Amino acid sequence: MNKRTITTIVLALVVVAVSPAYAGWDEGVAAFKSKNYTQAAKEFQAVVQERPEWDGGHYMLGRALAKLKRNDEALAHLRKAYDLNPNKVAYQMALGKSYLDNNRYSESANMLSKIDPGKLPSSQRTGYHQMLAAAYDKSGQSGQALVALKKLASAQPNNADAQYRYGLAAYNANQTSTAVAALDKAVQLAPNDTGKKETLVKVLIRSARESQGAQKRSRYQKAVGVAKQLASASPTYENALTLGEVQLGAQDYAGAEKSFRQAVSKDSSDWLGQYYLGQALTSQKKYTEAVIALNQAMKLASSTGDQSKIWRQLGFANEKLKNYSASIEAYRKAGDSTAIARVEENQRIASENKQIEAENREIQQMEDERRKLEKELQELPGGRPPR
């Protein structure tokens, strides 16, 4: 929620009522406008004491107290103003925000939902929808928050922030396809906003992981395009790593290898760069190079979970190299009993095949020697001896 926007919206609704016959009112308004909130609160307190049943005095005192972060006192007076005149939109808006400030989210949502946004000036609707969405979200009503932000996005189709907030809410509500569409639009509207692009890539990765077949690859390819823009605009270790990750998903293994090598060159102390590089090399069947990268990743990883991932990948690379003992040991450390059984079976078959090949070679050698001897006998004087 953009507090500056909300504050501006509420300020725009400050009631400039007919000045009562009380000397402190004009002074309070002047102090409030000049941001001297301590003096404003003092003047409006005097007004409230003189006219305790006048809603305007309570409203302005509540606003001044809110500016001073005296939230409990502010809420009491804003509630009093609303009770005295419940149909005033300004009071509803200010009271809804005060409930938010006091972490009373359900009451804030209930109050703000009374307001018809169609009756608000267009310049005030963004702040209203933001407050309402925040109140719904913080009160556990994420579905209602999403509805509020959807309305905001529909009302302001060219507002990048509105599209972004809607996309983020959809993402948090597990509506990934909706999130992708909204965030993509936000990025198009604000092409230089790297934060929005980072979020879009994150959502595209999740969307790709949830997809299958052609759609999966399409999501990754779209993520590659955005990630390349990020890496070009800000060539950090994190952006190079992200680019490599989505390139892996898009099956651009050579491109991923290049990105991960760039990442490693920027930060050689993080195991992830070496680990992902090992994956890219494995996917290109560069198993020997993959083992080197993965062993380096193992030196850098500290947690058991991270090490387990690396051991599993090392097991696979060594399995492809037919380094069965190393593969079995790696899978054992990864706790992958199924892989161990597979490699042991392959090792047994390879050993049997090796023995068979040795026996075949021996038989072939014996046959070659027999033929050679027979040829030599045929070449003796008198020809082949009788049987």
DSSP codes, 37-88: HHHHHHHHHHHHHH-TT-HHHHHHHHHHHHHTT-HHHHHHHHHHHHHH-TT-
| pLDDT of 172 higher than 90 | no
Predicted local confidence at residue 386, as pLDDT: 55
Q: CA geometry: angle at 139 spanning 133 and 140, to 5°?
A: 90
Domain assignment of residue 51, given as a range? 1-102
Q: Where on the phi/psi map is residue 39: left (φ > 0), alpha (ψ -120 to 50), or beta?
A: alpha
Is 229 inside any structural domain? no
Q: Quick one: how far is CA 311 from the chain centroid?
A: 27
Give the chain's largest Cα–Cα span. 149
Q: What string of H, E and C letters represents the secondary structure of 370-386?
A: HHHHHHHHHCCCCCCCC
User: pLDDT for 17-50, tens place per residue?
Assistant: 444 546 589 999 999 999 999 999 999 999 999 9
Is 262 inside any structural domain? no
Is 19 inside any structural domain? yes
CATH classification at residue 67: 1.25.40.10
| pLDDT of 338 higher than 70 | yes
Cα separation, 4 vs 12, whole angstroms: 12
Q: How confident is the model at residue 379 (pLDDT cuts 50, 70, 90)?
A: confident
Is 183 inside any structural domain? no
Q: Yes or no: say if 259 and 244 are a contact pair by the CB < 8 Å rule.
A: yes
Predicted local confidence at residue 359, as pLDDT: 63
Of residues 167, 179, 253, the one with CA closest to residue 210: 179
Q: How confident is the model at residue 225 (pLDDT cuts 50, 70, 90)?
A: very high
Q: Which residues of 33-55 are buried (b: 16+ CB within 10 A; e: fewer)?
A: eeebbebbbbbbbbbbeebeebb
Is 59 inside any structural domain? yes
Cα separation, 275 vs 313, whole angstroms: 8
Is 43 inside any structural domain? yes
Predicted local confidence at residue 12, as pLDDT: 45
| pLDDT of 243 higher than 80 | yes
Q: What is the rounded average pLDDT of the residues 220-239?
A: 94
Cα separation, 172 vs 166, whole angstroms: 10
Predicted local confidence at residue 118, as pLDDT: 81
Is 207 inside any structural domain? no
Number of independent structural domains in the chain:
1
Q: What is the rounded average pLDDT of the residues 342-366?
A: 77
pTM, to two decimals:
0.65
Predicted local confidence at residue 23, as pLDDT: 59
Q: What is the rounded average pLDDT of the residues 284-310?
A: 96
Of all residues in the chain, what percent carry a pLDDT higher than 90?
Answer: 68
Residue whose structure tokens are 């050579």: 254
Is 319 inside any structural domain? no
Structure tokens at 183: 């965030």
Cα separation, 194 vs 219, whole angstroms: 19
User: pLDDT for 53-105, tens place per residue?
Assistant: 999 999 999 999 999 999 999 999 999 999 999 999 999 999 999 999 999 99
The DSSP code for 102 is T
